[in-house]
């Protein structure tokens, strides 16, 4: 049985970040993360949005990329992932609660 994929922080110096951003047509700081499985690169990113867009209206997208015959990374497909940031926030909150216990104070609105 295999475990979860390896996760590591590489910072923006990772050469593939720039290549992924270029293929997607976004800035490197819009790339949230990526994974390579065989010859496929899957990336999570935020497309450009108009200035002043409220953070809760920004939708994260997922893209699948492969290398063409010349070795250039090309997008094979992309799709929005509504609620992605909320899922990440909930997962982080759960992991913190599991490790540190519930946060002090009253539960958040709508929470148990």
What does the pLDDT average to over 67-93? 90
Is pLDDT above 80 for 10?
A: no
User: Does residue 77 belong to any structural domain of this protein?
Assistant: yes
- Residue 108: its pLDDT value, please? 66
Count of structural domains within the chain: 1
Find out whether 29 and 48 touch, Cβ atoms under 8 Å. Answer: no
Q: CA-CA distance, 34 to 64, in Å (whole number)? A: 10
- Residue 1: its pLDDT value, please? 44
User: Is the pTM above the cut of 0.85?
Assistant: no
Is pLDDT above 50 for 17?
A: yes
* Structural domain harbouring 93: 11-100
Find out whether 101 and 93 touch, Cβ atoms under 8 Å. Answer: no
User: Does residue 67 belong to any structural domain of this protein?
Assistant: yes
What does the pLDDT average to over 35-45? 90
User: Does residue 4 belong to any structural domain of this protein?
Assistant: no
């Amino acid at each position: 049985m295999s475990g979860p994929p390896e996760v590591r922080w590489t910072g923006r110096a990772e050469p593939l970040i720039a290549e992924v951003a270029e293929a997607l047509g976004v800035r490197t700081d819009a790339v949230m993360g990526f994974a390579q499985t065989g010859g496929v690169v899957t990336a999570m990113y935020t497309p450009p949005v108009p200035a002043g867009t409220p953070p809760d209206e920004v939708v994260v997208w997922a893209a699948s990329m492969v290398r063409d015959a010349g070795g250039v990374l090309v997008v094979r497909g992309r799709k929005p992932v509504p609620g992605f940031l909320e899922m990440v926030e909930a997962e982080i909150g759960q992991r913190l609660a599991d490790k540190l216990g519930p946060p002090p104070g009253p539960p958040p609105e709508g929470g148990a």
